[in-house]
C-alpha cells in the first residue's frame, strides 16, 4: 500500500470544546485510519475516496487554546497501526476559545469611530442612541449640559438605503461539496448608508470653532474609514467604508446653560446589514465557470 499523505484540513480552526467536524484530504488512506490532533485521538466518522482523493471526516476532541499537529495513521484490519504508514501536517489546526456571541460589524464600526474621535478631536467622547430633549424650540441638546466640556456626543445611526453601493446582482460561489463542485447562490446583501450626528459642545466660542475645524479635519482625513475584519484575528486584514459629511453645520452659540454647541452629520456609506439570504445550495456544477442569463436592457 502507498504511504499516506495529508494535503488539507478543513476547517483549519475550531473551538476548544471540540465537537467540530473536520475533513482531512490526501492520498494513500487505508480502509481504517486513526487521527490525532495534538496527540489526542479524534473520532473517525467516515473514510472514503472521491475523484481520486482520499477523505476522512472526524470529530475533534477537546483541547486547550493552541496550534496543533494533525496526524493520520493507517490501521490494519484488526485496528492496529501499520508501521511506517503515517502522515503529519504540523500546526494544521488551531484551537480557539469559543465566543459567547459573535460581535457585530456595526458594534466594531461604532467603536472605531469613537476611538478615532477621541484620538483626533477631543478625549471626552461618548455615544448615545438618542438625544435627550425638552420643549424649548431649537434646543434639543440638553445631553451636552450633562457632560464635562469640551465634549463630543456621537448619536445614531439611522439607516438609509444606499443608492451608490447597493446591487441587485446575485452573489455566487463555487465550493467543494461531498460530491464535487457545488454552486451556492445568495440574494444581494441589504446595503445601507449609516447616518450619524455629532454634537460638539464647549464653554467658549473660540474653543467651539477650534473643535469645528478639528471635526472637519477628521472627516477629511478619514474619508475611508478602515476597520479590522475580525476583532481577534488581525491576519484577516481590514475593510473600508466611505465616510462623508452629511448636511450643514448647525451652531448654537447661546443657551441658558452658557454652552456653545454645534451639530454636524456624517455618513458611512456602503454598509452591508446582512450577507444575503441563501437561495440555491448544493447545485452541482461541472467547473468553476458561473453561468449568467441575459435579460433585456443589456443586463445579465
Closest to 178 (Cα-Cα) out of 48, 5, 42, 34: 48
Q: Based on the fold, state whether residues 110 and 241 are members of the same structural domain.
A: yes
Host H or E run for residue 218: helix 205-221
In a domain, 19, yes or no: yes
Q: What is the CA radius of gyration of the chain?
A: 28
Closest to 154 (Cα-Cα) out of 248, 247, 264: 264
For 69, the grid coordinates are: 499537529
In a domain, 148, yes or no: yes
Domain membership of residue 78 as a residue range: 5-96
In a domain, 218, yes or no: yes
What per-residue confidence (pLDDT) applies to 276?
Answer: 58
What per-residue confidence (pLDDT) applies to 275?
Answer: 62
Per DSSP, which regions of 137-259 are E strands? 151-161, 171-177, 180-186, 191-202, 224-228, 238-252
Q: Based on the fold, state whether residues 113 and 85 are members of the same structural domain.
A: no
What per-residue confidence (pLDDT) applies to 60?
Answer: 95
In a domain, 285, yes or no: no
Which among 96, 127, 157 is the end of a domain? 96
Q: Based on the fold, state whether residues 164 and 269 are members of the same structural domain.
A: yes
Whether residue 157 is preceded by a cis peptide bond, meaning omega within 30 degrees of 0, is: yes
In a domain, 291, yes or no: no
In a domain, 286, yes or no: no
Query: Along the chain (300 residues), what's the average pLDDT of each consecutive run of 10 residues?
Result: 86 89 93 94 92 91 93 93 93 83 78 91 80 43 60 88 76 66 73 91 90 93 82 70 90 76 91 66 48 44
Closest to 142 (Cα-Cα) out of 247, 256, 268: 256
What per-residue confidence (pLDDT) applies to 298?
Answer: 41
CA distances from 126 to 61, 149, 213, 248 (A): 44, 12, 19, 22
In a domain, 229, yes or no: yes
Q: Based on the fold, state whether residues 124 and 226 are members of the same structural domain.
A: yes
Amino acid at each position: 500500500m502507498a504511504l499516506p499523505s495529508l494535503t488539507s484540513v478543513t476547517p483549519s480552526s475550531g473551538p476548544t470544546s471540540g465537537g467540530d467536524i473536520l475533513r482531512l484530504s490526501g492520498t494513500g488512506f487505508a480502509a481504517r485510519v486513526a487521527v490525532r490532533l495534538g496527540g489526542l485521538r479524534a473520532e473517525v466518522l467516515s473514510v472514503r475516496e472521491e475523484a481520486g482523493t482520499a477523505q476522512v471526516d472526524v470529530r475533534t476532541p477537546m483541547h486547550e487554546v493552541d496550534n496543533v499537529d494533525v496526524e493520520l495513521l493507517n490501521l490494519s484490519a484488526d485496528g492496529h497501526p501499520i508501521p511506517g504508514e503515517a502522515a503529519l501536517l504540523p500546526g494544521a489546526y488551531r484551537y480557539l476559545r469559543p465566543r459567547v456571541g459573535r460581535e457585530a460589524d456595526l458594534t466594531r464600526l461604532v467603536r472605531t469611530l469613537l476611538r478615532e474621535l477621541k484620538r483626533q478631536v477631543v478625549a471626552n467622547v461618548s455615544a448615545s442612541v438618542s438625544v435627550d430633549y425638552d420643549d424649548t424650540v431649537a434646543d434639543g441638546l440638553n445631553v451636552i449640559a450633562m457632560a464635562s466640556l469640551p465634549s463630543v456626543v456621537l448619536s445614531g445611526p439611522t439607516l438609509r438605503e444606499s443608492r451608490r453601493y447597493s446591487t441587485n446582482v446575485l452573489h455566487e460561489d463555487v465550493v467543494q461539496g461531498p460530491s464535487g463542485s457545488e454552486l451556492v447562490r445568495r440574494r444581494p446583501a441589504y446595503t445601507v448608508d449609516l447616518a450619524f450626528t455629532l454634537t460638539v459642545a464647549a464653554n467658549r466660542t473660540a474653543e467651539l470653532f477650534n473643535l469645528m475645524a478639528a471635526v472637519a479635519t477628521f472627516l477629511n482625513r478619514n474619508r475611508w474609514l478602515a476597520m479590522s475584519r475580525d476583532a481577534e484575528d488581525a491576519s484577516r486584514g481590514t475593510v473600508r467604508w466611505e465616510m462623508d459629511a452629511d448636511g450643514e453645520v448647525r451652531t448654537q452659540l447661546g443657551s441658558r446653560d452658557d454652552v456653545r454647541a454645534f451639530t454636524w452629520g456624517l455618513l458611512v456609506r456602503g454598509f452591508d446589514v446582512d450577507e444575503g439570504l441563501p437561495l440555491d445550495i448544493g447545485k452541482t456544477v461541472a467547473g468553476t465557470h458561473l453561468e449568467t442569463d441575459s435579460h433585456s436592457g443589456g443586463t445579465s
